[in-house]
Chains A and B, each alone.
Chain A
Amino acid sequence: MKKILASTVVLMSSLCLSATAFAQTKEIRVLLANHPYGELLKAAIPDFEKQSGIKVNFESLQEGQLTTKLTTEFATKSSSVDVFMTRPLQEGKMFNRNGWYEPLTTQDFSDYPKNVMSVAAAGSAPFLVPLVTEWQVLYYRKDLFQAAGVEVPKTFTELEAAAKKLNSDTVAGIASRGKGAAAVTQLSSYVYNFGGQYIDKGVAVFDSAPAVEAIRYYGKLLGSYGPKGVTSMSWENIMPLFQAGKVAMWTDASVFYGQIVDPAKTQVPAANFGIANLPAGPKASSPFLVTSWGIAVAKQSKNKELAFKFLDWATSKELAAKGMLSNITMARSSVWKDPKVLESVNPGLVATRAYAAENGNPLDRPYMSAVGEARDQIGELVIESINTKGESANLAAMAKDKVGRVNDLLKDSGEYGQP
C-alpha cells in the first residue's frame, strides 16, 4: 500500500512539474516557404530562440502547398499558425479580404519603396512586411552577342531582331516562360510595355488591343525563336537550358541571377552572362517590380506578442543584409545602399533594380482573390499565341471570352469594379 502511495505521489508531482514547465514554455508556430530566405531564417532560428527564449516550431513548405495549407487552416478556423511567409500578389487580396492578416500598426515601413508598399497595405494599415522583391530583367549571353555582332536590345523591335539573329539549331534565340499560368507573370511586363493591363479598376481588360498585341508579340518571340517545347516550360525548365548554353537570351525575374552564375550549376563561365533592363515596348518601359514574398502575423494567433517579436527579428536590417550576401534581392531599400553589401552584389543587378524601383509596376499578375483560376485563363491565351507564332485568328475572340470568365470570378468574390 505504501509503495502504491509513494509512486502515486511521485507520478503526481512529476505531472505537476511538467505542466508548469509546459505553461512556462513560450512557443510559436511559424510557416516558412521553401525559398532561399526561408532557408536563411531556418538556419538563424536557433540564434533567435537563444536570444528571446521563445521556441519556434517551424514548418517549411513549397509555395503552392503553403498557400493551400494556410487557406485551408484559416478558412476552416482550425489554424494554430502565428507567423507565416506569404505571397502578397498570389494570396494577399484573398487573405486580407477574409481578415486573416493581423494589421501591423507599430512597424516602421519607411525603408521600403512606395510601389512595393502599395500591395502590402491596400489603402489601410499594412498587413505584411515585404521580404523579397523581384523585377523582370533580360539575361543574355555576352559571348554569343559578341560573336553575332548584336548589341544589347533596348526596345522590343531590337529584341525580336536579336532573337532572330541568335537563333540556331543548337541555341534558342530567346526563352521566357510558356507554361500557361506560370507564363502570366512574365508576360505582364510585355503587356505593360505595349500599354495594356490585366485588370483596371477591378475590371479585366486584357482583351484590349494593346494587351492582345503584347500576347501576340510574346507568342511570336517564343514560337519562332524559343526553345523546343516552350509551352510546357516554367523557370525551372528554362534555367538548366540557359545554364547548359542552349539559350541566348532569357527574360525572367531577377531572383535567378545568383543561380545562373553559380559555377557549381552552370556550364557557361559566369563572365559570359549579362543582365540588362527588359527592353522598352511601343508605349512604356515598365517592368514589374513585385514583392514576391512577405511575412505576416496571423489574425487568429493567440501568441501575438511573441509573434511580433519573431516578425521584427525576421525582417531586421541585419538579416536583410545577410540575405543580400546570399544573392537574395531583399525589399529593404537601405541594404541596396550599404557599401559593404554592394561590394558583393553584381552591378547589373543593382542598376536594373534601381531602374525598376523608379519605373516598375508593382503587379505581375491579375490582383484578385481567384488569381490561380484567372492565371489559368490567361495562360490559355499564351499557349494559343505561342503555338501559332502570334498569328492566331482566334486570339482576340479568345481573349474576350477569357475576360468574361475573369470578370465572372471578380463578380463572384465581390471585387468587380472595385479599385
Chain B
Amino acid sequence: MHKPSFIEKNIRILFPLPAFLFIALLMIFPIVYTLALSFTSWNLTSGAPMRFIGLRNYGQILLEPRFVDAIVRTLTFTICAVVIEAVLGTAIAIILNRAFIGKSLAKLLLLLPLVSTPVAVGIIFNLFYDPTIGLANFALSSLGLPQGLWVSSAATVIPSLIIVDVWQWTPMITLIVLAGLAGLSEEPFEAARVDGATQWQVLRYVTIPMVMPVILTAVILRLIDALKTFDIIFAMTGGGPGYASETLNIMGFKYSFEYFRMGQASVILIALFFLVLLCSMGIMKLRSSSEN
C-alpha cells in the first residue's frame, strides 16, 4: 500500500503556507509592531532606549486638539471627495455606456489623470492655484469673478484639494462602473421599455439598482485610498497653511519623520488604521444589504 509522504499528508497546510507567510510578514507584522511601538517612549532625537510607558502616548495624543482636528479633516476630505467622485464617475460611465463616435478616445482621455504621478499632479495644480500668477485666478478674473486664495487660505485649502482628488480619481470610478454596466443583461431593460418606462425611470429603477454593488465596490476602494491620501496633500501644502490641511496621515508623517516621536506617531497611525477599518466595514455592510 502506498504510504503518503510528508507533503501529501500536509498538503492542506503547505499549499497556502507561502501566502500565509507573505500576509504575516508584510501585513500582520507591521500592524502588530506599530501597535507595540504605540506603547513605548521611542523618540529618535533623545537617543534614549525604548521604554514601555503603557497608555501614556494615547492619553497625550487623544487630548491634543491637533489630533481631533486632523480626524475631522480626514473625514471631511474623504467623504466630500468620494461622494463627488461616485456621483460624477457613475454619471460619466452612464453617458459613456452607449455607442458614439470617439468613444475609445474618450475612454483613453479618461485614463490620463489616473496614470499621472500624484506629486507631478500636485506641482501642476499648485502652479494652477497660485493666487498671483496662477491660471485659476486668471480664468476667474477674465470671467469677471472674484479671485480665490485656493490652497493658500485655511478656509479654501480642503475644497481645493478635493478638486484635485476628484480630477484624478473620478475616472477610476467611471472605469469600474463602465465594466459593471457592460456586464448587465439586456432583459430587464427590454422588459422596462416594453412596460413603457421612460429613460429616467429605466435609469432610476433598473440601471442604478443593478449596478449599485459595483458602485459600492468602487466606493470602498476609493474610500480606503482617500482616507490614506498622502502624496497630493504633502506635495501641495505639506499640511498647511498652519495645520489647515493636516490629515491623520500627514500628522503621522510629521510626528515620525519631522519630530521623530515614533511612539506617538504610532498612536496616530493606529487611529488611522481603525478609521479605515470602520469605514470599510460600514460600506461593506451597505453593499451586502444592497445585494440582498
Of B133, B152, B154, which contacts A244 at CB under 8 A? B133
Of A72, A232, A240, A376, which contacts B44 at CB under 8 A? A72
Are A413 and B153 in contact, with the CB atoms below 8 A?
no
Are B237 and A232 in contact, with the CB atoms below 8 A?
yes
Of A240, A383, A412, which contacts B46 at CB under 8 A? A412
Are B46 and A413 in contact, with the CB atoms below 8 A?
yes
CB within 8 Å for A180 and B240 given contacts A246-B133, A370-B259: yes
Of A97, A231, A232, A380, which contacts B47 at CB under 8 A? A97
Of A179, A370, A379, A380, which contacts B45 at CB under 8 A? A370
The reply on A339 being an interface residue by CB < 8 A is no
Nearest neighbor of A233 in chain B, beta-carbon distance: B152
List, in ascending order, chain A residues with CB within 8 A of B46's CB. 98, 369, 412-414
Distance (whole angstroms) from the CB of B245 to the closest CB of chain A: 10
List, in ascending order, chain B residues with CB within 8 A of A379's CB. 242
Count class of interface residues, chain B: 20 to 34
Count class of interface residues, chain A: 35 or more
What is the number of contacts between chain A and chain B, taking CB atoms within 8 Å?
79
CB within 8 Å for A232 and B258 given contacts A241-B133, A369-B46: no
The reply on B241 being an interface residue by CB < 8 A is yes
Distance (whole angstroms) from the CB of A376 to the closest CB of chain B: 8
Q: Please indicate which of the listed interface residues A229, A233, A376, A413 has the most CB atoms of chain B within 10 Å of its own CB.
A: A229
The proximity string for A residues 253-265 relative to B, scoring 1 for CB distances below 8 Å and 0 otherwise, is: 0000000000000
Are B47 and A179 in contact, with the CB atoms below 8 A?
no
Looking at chain A's contact residues, the main secondary structure is: helix
CB within 8 Å for A228 and B132 given contacts A179-B241, A180-B242, A383-B242: yes
Of B45, B132, B153, which contacts A94 at CB under 8 A? B45
Are A229 and B45 in contact, with the CB atoms below 8 A?
no
The reply on A71 being an interface residue by CB < 8 A is yes
Distance (whole angstroms) from the CB of B239 to the closest CB of chain A: 9
Q: Which of B223-247 contact A (CB under 8 A)?
A: 237, 240-243
The proximity string for A residues 219-241 relative to B, scoring 1 for CB distances below 8 Å and 0 otherwise, is: 00000000111111100010011
The reply on B149 being an interface residue by CB < 8 A is yes
Of A240, A383, A414, which contacts B241 at CB under 8 A? A383
Top 5 nearest A-B pairs (CB, nearest first) are A229-B152, A98-B47, A228-B131, A229-B131, A75-B44
| Chain B residues within CB distance 8 Å of chain A | 43-47, 130-133, 147, 149-154, 157, 237, 240-243, 254, 257-260
